[in-house]
A and B are shown apart, each in its own frame.
Chain A
Amino acid sequence: MNDLTRPLPQTDEYDTESFWSATTEKALRYQQCANCHTIVFYPRRHCTGCTDGDLEWRSATGRGRIYTYSIVRQSYHPFFRNQVPYVVAWIELDEGPRLISNVIGVKDPGTQVHIDQRVQLVWEEHPTVNIPLFRLADDHAQ
């Protein structure tokens, strides 16, 4: 891993490879069962709601809110130690799934970032995948 870039996901992991390959088209996908309507995230091959599930891919709008977050001020990771302070957050997409990501583009995370703030997906481009990051939404209304 190049120390100057963030760690990137494995693109050949069985359950998540379709999720990551869709990011090359800037699609943020999750699964929903056509049989029982359970939303499945992180991606899997089987439905967690029923044993004869039929999972279909859906695309999220990329809008959501900060469920919770932390501001990392100390890291030993060769890439992230140069990024501090940065915001790690559980983002709750409007469609329901929650994912760990970063809230970027804030000058002073200590005062500008809050739980329940609206956020908007932004893609960080890489050669083999794109990484879903989030910025504060223009409309901060809840």
Chain B
Amino acid sequence: MSKERDAAIVGIYEYPLRSVDGEVSALQIKAECAARALEDAGLTWQDVDGIYDAGDGGGMAGLNISEYLGIHPTVIDTTGVGGSSYEFHAAHARRDIAAGKTRVALLTYGSTAHSSARAIGVGGRPGGGMHPADNMDGFAGMTLISNYAMVAHRHMYQFGTTSEQLAEIPVATRLHAMRNPEAVAAMEDLEFLDIRETTISDVVNSRMIADPLHLLECCMISDGGGAVVIASPEVVRDCRKPPVWIIGTGEATQYPQIGGDITVSAGAQSAPIAFGEAGVSASEMDIAMIYDSFSITVLTLLEDLGFCAKGEGGAWVEGGRLRFDRPADGPALNTDGGGLSSNHPGMRGIFLLIEAARQLRGESCSQVTDARLAVAHGNGGMLGSRHTGGTIIMARD
């Protein structure tokens, strides 16, 4: 077991709505989530001395959120690396707490992606910009999903992975979503056509969006937000809820390289660092909170996190082993319903931490009995080209 207990998640909150109809702003969602997460921890605004922000509240990240919340933090970290930003923030918060630079770190996220009709899941091209890499491929009409679909195709080609195997992932997360009232409400508010548990056949017979990925392999596009409070061991003692210790962290980038393997993500670099630091292995995990932008994201990451060897993910996920009620078969996947069926406002990483903490507290809608260890892995950017990976290993007392 891990040696160090430097920092723990002590407060969590997930914004309950996925469609706000333009009634609230992203900044307002961030502030409300922050207040509720502090309340969950038994802390107040005055306790916060570290702010971690991915820039989702507008320009001058770190400053604008501090003023808006009315706090004067002594650590300001504005790492913005896409959907995995919150795993990076958790890693940095633990590091900063261990260094004595902050005692109570606050991570917040807010988004009105659905209301703003941003095409995250099934269309569109992510924002342009003048990075030279962007200037090389804008002409080709690569949608976000086709970027991920190219990873899936190559995975199928190299390893014989099938659509039926990939479908195991959305089937498991939908099962968990149907047990989560907020996820069910989300699917209703976002006007999902058929809100029920799904089968492999449902997934592979849903509409093809970008070969080989089908509609039910794509995340939703919601509004939403959340907050996480991370505190030092001395603060933990006075908190309301049992601590969820951060015992290992890893960070990495990945991008196209000559002769590179598109089926290997940044997680292959970040996960061994995190597990090594924690002194535990993937096979010991009760909970796997893995960024499910698309089915292939999870399959690739299960391999890169070390649950099985590269290329064996398809066979490994077969037979429903990712369900919360199959603990003997390995970790339960995305027990909140995931980005596929509960919450994906664009940068889902914070929800990975929140649901992992719920599980280790015993508060999940799809609770794994006696869950002790969890891994959260965020993937930011685009899996099939340039992206970041952040791995966080968590343990309860």
Contacts and interface: CB of A to CB of B under 8 A. Distances in A.
Same complex for A and B? Answer yes
Interface of A: 6-10, 13-16, 19-20, 39, 41-44, 67-77, 79-80, 83, 86, 88-90, 96-102, 109-110, 115-116, 131
A39 B256 CA distance: 13
Interface string B92-136: 000000000000000000000000000100111100001011011
- Enumerate the 3 nearest inter-chain pairs by beta-carbon distance, A residue then B residue, closest first: A70-B149, A100-B137, A15-B132
B377 to A, nearest CB: 23
B3 to A, nearest CB: 37
Interface string B284-303: 00000000000000000000
Interface of B: 119, 122-125, 130, 132-133, 135-143, 145-147, 149-151, 153-154, 157, 207-213, 256, 258-260, 262, 384-385
B141 A96 contact: no
B133 A83 contact: no
A60 B12 CA distance: 53
Nearest to B138: A7
A7 B207 CA distance: 27
Contact of B153 (A15, A44, A69): A69
B157 to A, nearest CB: 4
Given A42-B132, A90-B150, A7 B139 contact: yes
Contact of B141 (A14, A16, A72): A72
Contact of A77 (B124, B130, B212, B260): B124
Contacts, number: 125
B157 A77 contact: no
A72 B137 contact: no
B157 A96 contact: no
A8 B153 contact: no
Nearest to A98: B256
A70 B258 contact: no
Contacts of B139: 6-9, 101, 131
Given A41-B258, A42-B133, A70-B210, A75 B153 contact: no
B119 to A, nearest CB: 5
Interface centre among A72, A80, A110, by most B CB within 10 Å? A72
Nearest to B260: A98
Given A67-B154, A97-B258, A98-B256, A76 B138 contact: no
B146 A76 contact: no
